[in-house]
Amino acid sequence: MAILAALLFPIFQSIRNAARGSKCVSNMHQAWLAANQYIDDYDQTFMPVNHRPGLLPNPKLDRTWVQLVLPYANGNFDIFHCPSDWSIREGWDTAFDKDLVPGDVYARYYMASMHVNMGFNYLYLSPIVSVQGKWVSQPKTTMAVNDPSETLLFVDSIWDRLKDGTPYDGGNWLVVPPCRYEKIGHRQVDTFVTDGTVYTPYQGWRVDQPNSPHIYGNAWPWHNGRVNVVRVDGSVKSIAIGALTAGCDVKEAWRGLIQDPDAYMWDIH
């Protein structure tokens, strides 16, 4: 019996992992449906990362893109969570003060919404830009996306890692692309097209820091080396983590250039 159990355990483990991956794909599709309803209601404009960027975390005055989409998901916060995320999470509810915003049930999700497993491709779709000294959300419209079937919307993500590399505290509501600049002729062009200085929490993927959560720009392969992604058109796929760098020569601090714009799945152009 012990030998039989040892033989069957990897099979059961594989089946369970496959089921979790399928559930994550289903969750991403539901999140896209909710986000798409929001986009339709706002003249084909993507969600802002924050309702009021530049504020210190404040559930009374601010909302994240997850909270803006949440009503369109009938308040089902679970769809933003990947079942394969086994990381230890902080107790968000203990930090929530229900008296801070009386009657606002969505405020309790403010901090938790930043730890969801769906990282938003915000630098291309909904950048935060410094305009006259203030951070302003400048979400793009779907009309600005040249190929919705190839452009990333959400990616499986991670929040942090312990010193031994163990994932910690859930996912991340934002992901950062592996490349930023493209060489056109003799010019080096910034593909983060904005009306000012774009906000980014860090400069590119931390390829020289294998235990950093930023090694893949906060994207994370929760599914045996693979990540689930959803495109702007709603198609959901499981791809190898390395496929996220297609068309891009990844180097520290965005020093690598986009070599094949057609293969690069982050940019909207």
The pLDDT score that the predictor gives to residue 15 is: 46
DSSP string, 190-229: ESS--SSEEP-SSSS--TT-TTSTTTTTTB--TBTTEEEE
CA distance 163 to 143: 43
Name the residue among 143, 116, 132, 147 with its Cα closest to residue 49: 116
Buried residues in 16-50 as b, exposed as e (16+ CB within 10 A) = eeeebbebbbebbbbbbebbbebbeeeeebbbbbb
The pLDDT score that the predictor gives to residue 195 is: 65
| Domain boundaries, given as residue ranges, for the chain | 2-258
Looking only at the bridges linking them, the beta strands covering 181-184 and 257-258 are parallel
- Partnered with residue 131 across adjacent β-strands are 134
Strands of the sheet containing 257-258, edge to edge, are: 187-190, 181-184, 257-258
Q: Write the pLDDT tens digit of every residue in 176-226.
A: 999 999 988 888 999 997 667 899 988 999 998 889 999 999 999 999 999
Instruction: Give the count of beta carbons closer than 10 Å to the beta carbon of residue 189.
Output: 13
CB 159 within 8 A of CB 222: no
CA distance 29 to 118: 11
Q: Does position 164 have pLDDT exceeding 60, yes or no?
A: yes
The kind and range of the H/E element at 94 are none
Q: 103 versus 56: which is more confidently predicted?
A: 56
Mean pLDDT, residues 156-168 taken together: 93
The residue type found at 108 is R
The pLDDT score that the predictor gives to residue 151 is: 98
Q: 14 versus 201: which is more confidently predicted?
A: 201
Place of tokens 């906000």: 199
Q: 147 versus 17: which is more confidently predicted?
A: 147
Q: Write the pLDDT tens digit of every residue in 62-94.
A: 899 999 999 999 989 999 999 999 887 765 544
Mean pLDDT, residues 260-264 taken together: 95
Name the residue among 182, 181, 175 with its Cα closest to residue 254: 181
pTM for the structure as a whole: 0.89
Q: Write the pLDDT tens digit of every residue in 123-160.
A: 999 999 998 888 999 999 999 999 999 999 999 999 99
Q: Average model confidence (pLDDT) for the chain?
A: 87
